[in-house]
Structure 1
C-alpha cells in the first residue's frame, strides 16, 4: 500500500481476521472469442465465456438447470463460482465427452449437444439427487414461486423425484431465526456456495463458510458461532440475494408466499427453531460485529450509539 493510501483516515488496516476468497474456484473461462456449435446452431461467444453461456446464446430446446451457476449482469457475478457442485448442467461434447457446462471453457470449434440421451439422464439424476436432500415443503417457504430449484423441477417435468425428498422432520435442523434480518433454513440448502462467495469475495465481510464433511456439510460462521445472532453479520443481505432456494430469506417475508391460515408457516413446517437470546440490540449489525474493540476510525466505540437504523 502506498503512503498516500496508508495515511487516509477512511482506509484503516483490517481489524479482524477473515478468510476472503475461495481458492478452489477454477479459472475455466475461454482465452479467446469462440465459435461453438450448440445443438446444430453456431454461436459466437466473447473471450471469458463458458459452455453454458454458449447454450444461453443459442436457441435450443434443451433444459439445462445449472442450479449452482450464478449468472447476473453485474460485476459481482464475476466473483461468484463456478463451483460445479450440483452437476445439473451436464452436456455432451464431441471433443471431450460429457462436461459440466457451467465450468467448462467455451473452446473454439466445440460441438455441444444438450439433448444427448446420456447427458439428459445425467441432469435428471443429479436434479433428483438435489431434491432428495431438500426439504420440499414449498407451500410454507418464503421463496415459493421464486425458487430456482422449484423452477428447475417444473421445467424438467419432475412429478415424483426418484430418490424421494428430505421429509424426516425429526432429522431437520432447527431454523436459525435469531437474527432480525435474515432467517436460515439449512434444510433447504443445496450447498451451492453462492452465499459464501458473496459474503467473502464480493462483500469481503468474512461471515459465512461451509463446514463439516459429507452429509454433515452445512452453512456455518467463520467465528464459530451457532446462530446468526452471534455471528459477525452486518446484514448487507447479499447472501440472500444470491441464494437459489429458501435457505436464506429476509425476515418479514419468510411467510410471504404461504397460505394465510393459522399455523401454516415456515416455522411450524420445520417444527423447531433457534430464537434470539435477547442480548441482540436491534439494528443493522449483529452484536458480535458491533462489539469489536475499535470502530473504523480506530477509536473506541460509542457506548450510547443512539437509535439504530
Structure 2
C-alpha cells in the first residue's frame, strides 16, 4: 500500500477550477462612515441639515458647492457600493480637522466646510493627476469612450496633461485579460476604486473578485487564485462591468464600440498584449462556473428525444 501523501494523487473527478469556500466581503463588514445623529453644518457658507448616517460628501451633494468635489470610488447609496476613500478626489477642508476625504467623514453638528480653499483644491487636483498618470489614456480606442467617469471629471476640471506623466510613455503595459467571452479586464485602466469587488461580493454575493498585491502591484484578482477571468468562478452577471467607472471591466460586445474610431487601432492592440488568446470564443461559451450551474440539471445529449430527420 502506498504511503505517498494524498495530494500527490489528485482525484480524477476533482473540478479543474476550485470553488471559493468562503466569500471575502468587499466593505459590507466595515463600520458605517456616516454620522450617528442628525447634524447642521456649513458648506461654503450654505447651511445644510443632514440626516443620521450622512457623510460630508452627502452634505456637499445637497448644495451648490464652490469647488468640484468628486467621488470616483462611490457608486450607489442604495447598493452601498463605496465610498472607501480610495481615489481621494473628494477632499475638502474643515476648520476642525484640516483637509479630509468627504466621502468617508461623518457630518458632525457644527462643522464648517470649505471646498474651494487652495489646500482642498490642490489635494483633489493632485489625486486626480495621480489616477490619470497610472491610466491608459488612449481614450479613442476604448469601448468606454464617452461613458467614462474618469474622462468626464478630467474634462470638467480642464485637465490637459497629468503633471506626473502618462501611462503610454512606459516601455511595457499590462496585458489585457481577454479570456472570458463576456467580460474583459484591462488592468491598465483600473483606478483601484474597489467598486467591482464590492458589487461582486456584497451585492451579487458571488465571491469572485478581490484586490491582490500591494503598492504599485495592487490589481484586481480572483478569490479562487486563478489568473484569468475564464478560469475564475465568474457567473457572467456583468455587475462588475456595470459599476466600473472606466474601461477596466467591459462587456465584450462593447470592447471596440468607440465613439471616435481611429483607423488601424482597436481597444485590444492599444495595450500591447492579450492574455487568454488560447480561448477560442464561441457565442454560447461560458465560464466553467456558469456552465456548471446552467447544465447540471440538463439531460445528456444521448437522452434527448429524437426529432424528424435523425438517424
Q: TM-score over 0.5 for the alignment?
A: yes
Q: Secondary structure at the match of 2:168?
A: coil
Q: Secondary structure at the match of 1:36?
A: strand
Partner residue, 1:6 = none
Partner residue, 1:62 = 67
Q: Deviations over 1:143-196 (max 9, x none)?
A: 111111111111111111110111146421111111111111000000010000
The answer to whether the aligner puts 1:211 opposite 2:212 as a matched pair is yes
Structure 1 position 284, deviation (Å)? 7.5
Partner residue, 1:41 = 46
Structure 1 position 53, deviation (Å)? 0.8
CA distance in 1, matches of 2:231, 2:277: 9
CA distance in 2, matches of 1:47, 1:98: 23
Q: Secondary structure at the match of 1:228?
A: coil
Change (3 A) 1:97 1:278: closer
Q: Secondary structure at the match of 2:253?
A: coil
Partner residue, 2:24 = 20
**What stretches of structure 2 of length at least 5 have no aligned partner?**
1-18, 305-311
* 8 A contact 1:200–1:208 mirrored in 2: yes
Structure 1 position 26, deviation (Å)? 3.7
Partner residue, 2:107 = 106
Q: Secondary structure at the match of 1:171?
A: coil
CA distance in 1, matches of 2:247, 2:189: 6
Structure 1 position 225, deviation (Å)? 1.3
Q: Secondary structure at the match of 1:229?
A: coil
1:287-306 paired onto structure 2 within 5 Å: 287-291=288-292, 303-304=300-301
**What stretches of structure 1 of length at least 5 have no aligned partner?**
1-14
Partner residue, 2:16 = none
Structure 1 position 263, deviation (Å)? 2.6
Partner residue, 2:271 = 270
Q: Secondary structure at the match of 1:42?
A: strand
Partner residue, 1:52 = 57
Structure 1 position 38, deviation (Å)? 0.8
Structure 1 position 213, deviation (Å)? 1.3
In the comparison of the two structures, how many residue pairs are matched?
284
Change (3 A) 1:120 1:185: same
CA distance in 1, matches of 2:102, 2:228: 35
How big is the alpha-carbon RMSD for the aligned residues of Structure 1 and Structure 2?
2.4
